[in-house]
């Protein structure tokens, strides 16, 4: 029943947005912001359950915890960036939204640097070093 409730809340928000859009645009935008926040506040508890499952699976497979934490951080940055970019786009600032997405991508790459270096280290270990056979 949560899903039906969320759909109804978003419909109510859409109606109120249409009413307020002409008479008070700032209030309409605040309704937009608040509806996004309410829906994600409901969903984030379920996300927590899923992420705990992911962490449990990772521990059982004896994967290094820092990798799992990095992946969680990347997912979080992606969600937050998308939220901010969509709200900024709705406010009419498409260029700022695209810059925000760029910033999100850069932070994600920055977080992935340890994983990339670990992969490169593993690959380099596989490559045989034949420095002894050189003349």
Partner 1 sequence: MFVDATILFQIAGIGIITALIHTVLKQVGKEDIAQFVSLVGFIIVLVIVIQHLADLFQQIKSVFLLQGF
Could you tell me if 72 and 51 are in contact, meaning their C-beta atoms sit under 8 angstroms apart?
yes
In the list 54, 79, 90, 108, the residue contacting partner 1 (rule: CB under 8 A) is 79
Query: Does 27 engage in binding with partner 1 (CB under 8 A)?
Result: yes
Could you tell me if 69 and 107 are in contact, meaning their C-beta atoms sit under 8 angstroms apart?
no
Q: Extract the tokens encoding 73.
A: 């951080």
Q: Residue 78 and residue 64: Cα distance in Å, rounded?
A: 22
- Phi, psi of 54, deg, nearest 5: -60, -45
Query: Does 5 engage in binding with partner 1 (CB under 8 A)?
Result: yes
List helix spans (H) across the chain. Answer: 2-23, 25-60, 65-90, 94-126
The secondary structure element, H or E, covering residue 129 is: none
Residue with Cβ nearer partner 1 (82 or 93):
82
Query: Does 76 engage in binding with partner 1 (CB under 8 A)?
Result: yes
Query: Does 91 engage in binding with partner 1 (CB under 8 A)?
Result: no
Residue with Cβ nearer partner 1 (51 or 96):
51
- Please choose, from the candidates 127, 78, 129, the residue with its C-alpha nearest in 3D space to the C-alpha of residue 104: 78
Query: Does 102 engage in binding with partner 1 (CB under 8 A)?
Result: no
Query: Does 23 engage in binding with partner 1 (CB under 8 A)?
Result: yes
Q: Which stretch in 77-85, 89-97, 117-125, 127-135 sits in contact with partner 1 by CB under 8 A?
A: 77-85
Query: Does 28 engage in binding with partner 1 (CB under 8 A)?
Result: yes
Could you tell me if 20 and 31 are in contact, meaning their C-beta atoms sit under 8 angstroms apart?
yes
- Name the residues that contact partner 1, by CB under 8 A: 2, 5-6, 8-9, 12-13, 16, 19-20, 23-24, 26-28, 30-31, 33-35, 37-42, 44-45, 47-48, 51, 69, 72-73, 75-77, 79-80, 107
């Amino acid at each position: 029943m949560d899903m039906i409730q969320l759909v109804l809340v978003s419909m109510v928000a859409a109606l109120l947005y249409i009413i307020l859009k002409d008479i008070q645009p700032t209030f309409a935008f605040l309704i937009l912001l608040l509806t996004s926040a309410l829906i994600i506040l409901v969903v984030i508890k379920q996300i927590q359950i899923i992420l705990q499952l992911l962490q449990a699976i990772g521990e059982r497979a004896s994967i290094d915890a820092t990798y799992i934490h990095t992946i969680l951080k990347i997912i979080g940055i992606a969600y937050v960036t998308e939220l901010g970019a969509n709200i900024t786009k709705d406010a009419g600032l498409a260029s700022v939204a695209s810059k925000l997405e760029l910033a999100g991508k850069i932070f994600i790459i920055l977080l992935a640097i340890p994983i990339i270096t670990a992969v490169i280290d593993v690959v380099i270990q596989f490559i045989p070093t034949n420095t002894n056979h050189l003349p």
